[in-house]
């Protein structure tokens, strides 16, 4: 993920100018497109609010390093942060490519709606287990609690008791 996406500053793109296709006013780079572009600022702010992730980092590599340390622990909030961040990256990059290769533009609100839809779809796959933290976060995000897998059932001790009594 470290600066591997081929932005216009990192390789020759034939006839494409080295201008961000989202704002059309700055040279495109990872730092710009994901962190500093006026088009993605609304989206990025939304993701930061949802993830309670408040940082003023404006450098992509620094951000990835920061996330890889801060979000390393396997916890419900970190899992949701990773889902949000991945959806944000995916749809920002998709919008960028649609503008370059298909000459189609969507608004920030439409891209944000796609991100939210993807987050919900991923959560509906059921890899989030029902627990108080998951319920609290889903409620704050106005997402259905049905996104959660039921909590694990306590071990069935009936057979053990029967065997012990035999």
The correct pick among 8, 20, 67, 80 for binding Zn ion (CB under 5 A) is: 20
**Cβ-contact 88, 47 below 8 angstroms:** yes
Tell me if 128 contacts Zn ion by CB under 5 A. Answer: no
d(CA 127, CA 13): 39
Query: Binders of Zn ion among 87-116, rule CB under 5 A?
Result: none
Tell me if 83 contacts Zn ion by CB under 5 A. Answer: no
- When the beta carbons of 45 and 160 are compared against Zn ion, the nearer one is 45
d(CA 26, CA 20): 6
d(CA 137, CA 122): 15
In the complex, minimum distance from the CB of residue 21 to Zn ion, in angstroms, rounded to a whole number:
8
- When the beta carbons of 28 and 83 are compared against Zn ion, the nearer one is 28
Whose structure tokens read 């003023």?
A: 56
Tell me if 35 contacts Zn ion by CB under 5 A. Answer: no
**CA distance from start to end of the chain:** 59
Query: Binders of Zn ion among 37-56, rule CB under 5 A?
Result: 37
Piece of the chain touching Zn ion by CB under 5 A; list 13-21, 60-68, 83-91, 110-118: 13-21
- When the beta carbons of 107 and 144 are compared against Zn ion, the nearer one is 107
Q: Which residues contact 33 (CB under 8 A, 6 or more apart)?
A: 7, 20, 22, 40, 92, 93, 96
Binding residues for Zn ion (CB under 5 A): 20, 22-23, 26, 37
């Amino acid at each position: 993920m470290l600066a591997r996406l081929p932005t216009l500053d990192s390789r020759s793109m034939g006839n494409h100018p080295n201008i961000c296709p989202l704002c059309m006013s700055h040279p495109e780079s990872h730092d710009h497109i994901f962190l500093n572009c006026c088009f993605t600022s609304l989206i990025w702010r939304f993701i930061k609010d949802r993830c309670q992730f408040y940082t003023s980092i404006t450098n992509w590599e620094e951000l990835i390093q920061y996330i890889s340390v801060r979000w390393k622990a396997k916890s419900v909030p970190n899992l949701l942060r990773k889902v949000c961040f991945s959806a944000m990256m995916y749809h920002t990059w998709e919008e960028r490519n649609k503008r370059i290769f298909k000459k189609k533009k969507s608004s920030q609100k439409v891209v944000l709606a796609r991100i939210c839809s993807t987050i919900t779809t991923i959560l509906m796959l059921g890899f989030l287990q029902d627990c108080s933290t998951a319920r609290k976060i889903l409620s704050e995000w106005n997402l259905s609690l049905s996104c959660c897998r039921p909590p694990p059932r306590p071990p069935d001790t009936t057979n053990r008791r029967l065997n012990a009594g035999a």
